[in-house]
Amino acid sequence: MSESVSVEKTQILQKYLDLDQRGVIIAEYVWIDGTGHLRSKGRSLKKKITSVEQLPEWNFDGSSTNQAPGNDSDIYLKPVAYYPDPFRRGDNIVVLAACYNNDGTPNKFNHRHEAAKLFNAHKDEEIWFGLEQEYTLFDMYDDVYGWPKGGYPAPQGPYYCGVGAGKVYARDVIEAHYRACLYAGIELSGINAEVMPSQWEFQVGPCTGIEMGDQLWMARYFLHRVAEEFGVKISFHPKPLKGDWNGAGCHTNVSTKKMRQPGGMKYIEQAIESLSKRHAEHIKLYGADNDQRLTGRHETASMTNFSSGVANRGASIRIPRSVAKEGYGYFEDRRPASNIDPYLVTGIMCETVCGAIENADMSKEFDRESS
C-alpha cells in the first residue's frame, strides 16, 4: 500500500497563524528519544520568556519513545536552551530539553549530561567546534528525491556545489531551512550541495563547548520541520545508497585557545597524536553503520587505520593547507558519520584533545621545576 503524500497547506494555515494569541506564548519542547530521533510537543505559557530558568520542567511518556518501561514511564524534560520559533514566530519559542528519570538521574540516552561535565572540567582550553552536517533527501515513497523512478542520474561529478536544473534538487527546502536557522539564532555558517545528487550539507559553528551539540540538534529539528512542509524526508544515514555514491558524514572541526594562537601547530600535532592512540574508542562513538561509509573510498579514510595529512580528504584527520602555512588554527576530524550524537563526539574530542594539551603543559612545568 503506497503512502499518501501530504504537503502542508501553508496559505490556509497563514490566516490562523495571524490570529492574536492574547498574550499566551507557545513553547515547543524538543528532545532526543531512545532511537536518536527527535520528538516534540507544545504547551502554552502565560508570559514571554526571557531566560531559560523561567521555563517549567515537563514530562512525557517514555514508554512510547524507547526511553522507559510502561510500568514506570514518566520521563522529565529539563529545559537547557531556547530559540525563537521560525514557524509560529512572534514571541513563541522552541525549547531544547534534556531527559531525566523520576529519581533525578539522567536518562540513559541523555548524553548531554556527561558532555557538559567534560566541557566544564576543561573550560580553560576554550574549545571551539564546527560541525559539517551532511544529509540526503528522500520523497514520501523512500526514493532519493528527484532521481528518475527506477533509475539513476548521471554519475557523480557535476553535483557538488552545483547550479542548474538536473544538477541541484530541492533548493527551496534548503533555502527555507537556512532562513529558519538564522531567524532562530543558530550559528549556521554556510550550506552547499554535496557530491551525490539530492545530498546537501549545512555547517554549524564555531560554537563553544556544549553549545555545539545544542545548536546542531536544533538545526536538525528545524530541517525536519521545514522538510515536513514540502513533503520531503530527511535521512542522516551515513551510506543511504549502496554502490558508487558518496556517503554522508559530519566532519568535526576542532580548535582550542592554544591552537588558535601563533605557534599553535604544536598543539594540533599533540592532539592528533592523542587521537591516533584512541582511534578505536572514538570510532565507537562516531555513528551507527559508519563502517559502510569509512571504506577508504569516496573521500573517506579506513575504519580501522588512523591517518592524518595536510589537505588530505582521504585521511582520518585533515589539516587545512592554510593552517599548515600559517602555523596555527584548527584541524578537521573526517571520521564522524552524519548520524552522530554531537554530544558524544564533542565530549570525547574535548577529553582527548584538551587532556593531551594539559598533560603536555604539566610535563613541561614538571621539567622546569626539576631543572
With bands split at pLDDT 50, 70 and 90, how would you rate the model's confidence at 364?
Answer: low
d(CA 261, CA 87): 41
Which of 108, 128, 160 finishes a domain?
108
Residue 85's beta-bridge partner residues? none
Q: Is 10 a domain residue? A: no
For residues 138 and 67, state if they share a domain.
Answer: no
Q: For residue range 46-100, list pLDDT tens digits in order.
A: 999 999 999 999 999 999 999 999 999 999 999 999 999 999 999 999 999 999 9
For residues 177 and 221, state if they share a domain.
Answer: yes
Say if residue 69 is preceded by a cis peptide, omega within 30 of 0: no
For residues 246 and 133, state if they share a domain.
Answer: yes
User: How big is the chain, counted in residues?
Assistant: 371
Q: Residue written as cell 553535483? A: 159
Domain of 42: which CATH number?
Answer: 3.10.20.70
Q: Is 363 a domain residue? A: yes
- pLDDT at residue 186 in the model: 98
24-38, 89-103, 146-160: least confidently modelled range: 146-160
For residues 126 and 93, state if they share a domain.
Answer: no
With bands split at pLDDT 50, 70 and 90, how would you rate the model's confidence at 370?
Answer: low
For residues 291 and 358, state if they share a domain.
Answer: yes
pLDDT at 1 over 50: no
For residues 205 and 150, state if they share a domain.
Answer: yes
- pLDDT at residue 4 in the model: 53
Which of 89, 108, 127 finishes a domain?
108
CA dist 308 → 205, 217, 263, 287, 291 (Å): 23, 28, 19, 20, 19
What is the crossing angle of helices 342-370 and 112-121, to 10°?
Answer: 20
Q: Taking residues 106-115, report their average pLDDT.
A: 98
Q: Taking residues 201-218, report their average pLDDT.
A: 98
Element (H, E) at 205: strand 199-208
Q: Is 164 a domain residue? A: yes
For residues 127 and 33, state if they share a domain.
Answer: no
Domain of 162: which CATH number?
Answer: 3.30.590.10
Overall domain count for the chain: 2
Q: Taking residues 23-36, report their average pLDDT.
A: 97
Average pLDDT, the chain: 94
Q: Residue written as cell 497547506? A: 9
For residues 254 and 326, state if they share a domain.
Answer: yes
Q: Is 96 a domain residue? A: yes
Q: Is 334 a domain residue? A: yes
What is this structure's pTM?
0.94
CB–CB of 312/324 below 8 Å? no
What are the φ/ψ torsions at residue 97 (nearest 5 degrees)? -125, 145
Residue 308's beta-bridge partner residues? 317
Q: Provide the percentage of residues in the chain whose pLDDT is more than 70.
A: 95
46: containing domain: 25-108
Q: Which residues contact 159 (CB under 8 A, 6 or more apart)?
A: 167, 168, 193, 194, 195, 196, 197, 199
